[in-house]
Structure 1
Amino acid sequence: MSRLLQKIKSITESSAPAVGFRTAATSTMTRGPLLAAVLAHPDARSAKAAVEAGADALLAQTSDAKAWEDIVKAAAGAPCGPFLPGGDADLKALEEAGCDFVSFSPSTAPARWLRVEGLARIARVPYGAEVSSLRGIDKVGIDAVVLENEGSADFLSVQQLMNCHFLVAALNRPLLAAIPASASAEDVAALWDAGVDGLVVAEGGLARLRELHKIVTAMPPRSKKRAGKETVLLPQMGQPAAPAEEEDDEE
C-alpha cells in the first residue's frame, strides 16, 4: 500500500472514538487530519524545511524525475508526489525517482495512467463539481480524492464544508481538502469533524505551516457521528424512474 494511504489509515484509525477504556499509550496517538504541503519551489531545500515544519506529505507541480529524486531524499520518509496538470508525464520515471503517489485532474489525465502500478492515484475534484462527474470514480482505480479550494478565498466557506460532508458520505475513498494557509483552527476542526482525512495547504510560509501542524496534532478524536461514515447513493443518470404501482380499487 502507498505510504500516503497508510498514513491516512493510521491517523483515522487512531483518532476514532474509543470503545471502552482507552490506554494512555493509545491516547497519545490521537491527532487531526494528515497535513500535506504544496512546495512553491520543487527542490530539496524546500522539502526538508516543510517536513521539519510539520508536513506529513509533500506535493509539487513538476514532473521532473531528477527533481523528485532530490525531494524524496530530503523528505526523510514523508510520502511525496506531483500534481500533474497534463498528460505528458512519465509516471514510471516518477515512481523510480521515489514518488509515492500522483495527483491529477480526471478531465486532463490520460486513462493509460490508471494502468501504471506502484503509485497511488489521487483525483483532484474542482470546487462545485457536478455530481454526475463523480460517478464511476470507484470503478477506475482512484485511491483518494482532493477537493480543491474555492478560488482565492482565505477561509472555509459554508458551501465548501457542505461539499465535504457530501463527498465523505458519497465516496468510499479517503478525502483530502485543499485549504488556504490562513485557515483557522475552527476551519480545520469543522473539516475534521465532517470526515475529511487530510488537508492540502499551499505555500504560506514555514511559520504558518508550523501553526497548522500544531492545530492538527491537537485535534481531539472525531465525534462518534462522523467516525462511522454515512453512505449516500449518487444519482444514476439517464435511467427512467420506476412507474408508480396502481392501487386496487376498494369494492
Structure 2
Amino acid sequence: AHSVRLLVPESLARHAADIRAAIPGTLGRLDPELERHLTVETLRSRNGQRLFGYNSGSAYPHSAYGPGDDRSLVRDPVLVVVPNGSKILTDDTYTAFATQGAVVFPEPDDVLNAIAADKNGLRTYVTAVRPVGQAAAQELRDSVNGFRLHVFNLIAALAVLLVTGLGVCFIHSSRNAQAIFVQHISGWRFSATHRSILAVEGVLAAFLAWWVPIRTWQQNQELEEFTSQGIPAPFPPVRITAWDSGAITGLVVIEVCSVLLALAAFHRRIVKEGATET
C-alpha cells in the first residue's frame, strides 16, 4: 500500500536513476503484478553520514577497506526502506536475507513468540540463524586463535633460524680452528678471518629485511593490473605498518647479533685454546 523509499546521499545523486532501476533485483523475487505497480520514492540524504550496519563487514568484503578496518559503520549509505508489514519482501526473500545475517530483530521476543506459534514453519529456519552477538564472539575467538598460531609460528621459525645459525658457526669454527688461530696471531681482523660466514649472514639479513617489502610490492602490482583493466580490486592495497617494520627489524637484529656473538665466542675460545697449547 506504500511506496518503497530510496535514500541516496548527495555525493551519489548522479547515480540515483541507476540505483533506482536496480531496486527490484535487490529486493529479490517479486510478484510480477507487484513489481509492475511498485513505486519508489527517491529522497536525498546529507553527505558524511554513517549508519550502523549490525555487521562487521567480514561477510561482505570490499576493496575500499583494509582487513583491520571497522566496517560496522557504513559511510554515505544508500538505503532502501521497505514499508513495515508489506508483501514486497516474500517469505523466501526474508529467509535468504536471514541466512546471510542481514535481518535484525530489535526485540528478541518477537522471534521467540513466532517460534512458539510456529507459523509458516519458522522454527526450521531460525535454527540455522546465529544471533549477532554469538557470531561476533565466534569471530573474536577465531581471530585470537589465529593470532596465537601466528605468534607460535614466528617463535618456532625464529628458534629454527637461531639454532641453524649457531650450528653453522660451530661447524665453521671447528673445521677451521687451526687456520683461525694462525690468522689471528698473524694480525688478521675478525671480519677478514670470518668473511665467508659474515657474507652469508649479510645475504640472509638482506633477504629477511626485504622479503616482506618485495612481496608487498608484487601484490600491489597485481592489484594495479586489475584496476588498469577496469576490474574491481579483489583485495585492498597491501600496506606495511609500523608493527610490521618493527617485527622485521627485530628479527634481523636478533638473528645477526646472535650469529655475531656466537662467532665471537667460538673465535675467542679457539684463540685461548691455541695460546694455551702453544
TM-score bracket, shorter-length normalisation:
under 0.3
Higher strand share: 1
TM-score, structure 2 normalization: 0.22
Higher helix share: 2
Please tell me whether Structure 1 or Structure 2 has the larger radius of gyration of its CA atoms. Answer: 2
